[in-house]
Amino acid sequence: MPRLLSAGGTSLTAPLRDERGAVLVLMSALCVVLALLFVGLSEFGRWLIAREQAQVAADAAAHAAVLSGGERMVKLRIYREPGAMYETCCPCEDGCCTCCEDCGDYEIVVTGTAKHLLDEGGWYTDYYGEVCGPCDCGCSMNYEILDHWVRFDAPVGEAAAEAYFQANYPEQAYLAGKRPVKFYDRTSPYGPSAVVYAWYRVKSLFPRLFGVFPDDYGGVVCAQADAFYRDYEGDRYISDKYKRRAPECACWKDGAY
């Protein structure tokens, strides 16, 4: 076969380069990329599971802290209803006849737990003698809610939170824990509520692989449980200025972590 020559007499054909090793290099690089992608997705999935489990444990701890450590308090004005009467002696033909006269107004202000005073009727059984005792000719009494709030017993709430956190311990994590519960009363914009921060650590299945993955990894989650006050009767006058305000979100804003 004749060769093609340029005007200067040089050949226009050149020997082809040997590219048989390039495919092997490309396949090796592709395998490394796919391996990193697989490992990364696997580790990310385990991290997501551990995070979700830690969030569930923190939620359970926060709700347990509020339910066990929170106690509903109430301030009542207990008063005689109009028309209360007491028995006395009135002049008559026989000299003295039994009759009833107005007992007058009387009221007291008491503070206690809503469970006892309202749920169990303690406002009536405990104070009937004082309010209506002198009115032996007929008396009825009533109450007005002046104030109500939630009082937290921190040690009780903390113990309940720890128990529920351990009961829902994140299984995917090899280490996990929570910080002490932070309670907020109604004087705080975050209250009444309880806030729990929980942390978790997950061991890597491929520690230090290609110098990319660490030995372990983890994070922190936050849970907040609000305390709500029960309205006993719609026609009661309630002068608690905090009643209609829902607690603001405290997670990552309160500086507790």
- 119-162: per-residue pLDDT in tens? 899 999 999 999 988 888 888 899 988 888 889 999 999 999 99
* CA gap 28, 34 in Å, rounded: 10
CB of 205 closer than 8 Å to CB of 46: yes
Neighbours of 195 (CB within 10 A): 27
Given a cut of 80, is residue 242 above it in pLDDT?
no
Instruction: Identify the CA nearest to 63 among candidates 238, 233, 224.
Output: 224
What is the residue whose two structure tokens read 């109430």? 74
* CA gap 52, 110 in Å, rounded: 46
CB of 165 closer than 8 Å to CB of 57: yes
Average pLDDT, the chain: 81
pLDDT at 137: 84
Residue 18 banded pLDDT, cuts 50, 70, 90: low
Instruction: Identify the CA nearest to 219 among candidates 98, 70, 25, 44.
Output: 44
